[in-house]
Amino acid sequence: MSELTLAIIKPDAVKKHVIGDIISHYEKVGLQPVAIRMMHLSKSAAQGFYAVHKARPFFDSLTTFMSSGPVVVLVLSGENAIKKHRDLMGATDPAKADKGTLRALYGTNIEYNAVHGSDGPDTAQFEIGYFFPGMDLVTR
């Protein structure tokens, strides 16, 4: 089943100049970009996006990091895109991520972990709507 998921290339990965490498990985596994925005999130935009984590001890540090520099936000389309993307990213902690996954390749630590991906259909719908409100997304 073709579905959509939201990806973010985080400020640490943008600073490492690996935007192109990461997008190549998406395309190689059949995750087609159907929308792309480069933006510098305000702290409050990061807080709104990660609202589900607001009770977590790392919330303030996470939202400071996510608003520390530009990010690239993408909608990816493909067969089982949500799971396929999570498999490609690897575990949240780059030290525990399988070899060859995006976080193992480009992440630094559990917070500066290079990429974000929606973790389920409801989250994908919220996250896509957060950055691409009202957009008529193309399915490729």
DSSP percent split of the chain into helix, strand, coil, nearest 5: 40, 20, 40
H helices of the chain, in order, are 11-15, 19-28, 43-49, 59-66, 81-89, 102-106, 121-131
User: What is d(CA 80, CA 106) in angstroms, rounded to the nearest whole number?
Assistant: 23
Q: Verify binding: residue 118, ligand CMP, rule CB under 6 A.
A: no
Binding residue for ligand CMP (CB under 6 A) from 21, 62, 108, 130?
A: 62
Is 10 annotated as belonging to a binding site?
Answer: yes
Check the annotation: does 132 bind a ligand.
no
Exactly one of 67, 108, 110, 126 binds ligand CMP (CB under 6 A); that residue is 110
DSSP 16: T
Of 35 and 89, which has the nearer Cβ to ligand CMP?
89
116 is catalytic: yes
Residues 83-102 interacting with ligand CMP (rule: CB under 6 A): 92
Per CB under 6 A, 47 contacts ligand CMP? no
Query: Is residue 111 close enough to count as binding ligand CMP by CB under 6 A?
Result: yes
Q: Which has the closest alpha carbon to 132: 1, 8, 2?
A: 8
Q: Is 58 annotated as a binding residue?
A: yes
The nearest distance, CB 103 to ligand CMP, in angstroms, is: 9
Q: Which stretch binds ligand CMP (CB under 6 A): 16-24, 73-81, 94-102, 109-117?
A: 109-117
CA–CA distance from 74 to each of 5, 10, 31, 98, 107 (Å)? 8, 11, 11, 23, 18
Give the catalytic positions in this structure. Answer: 116
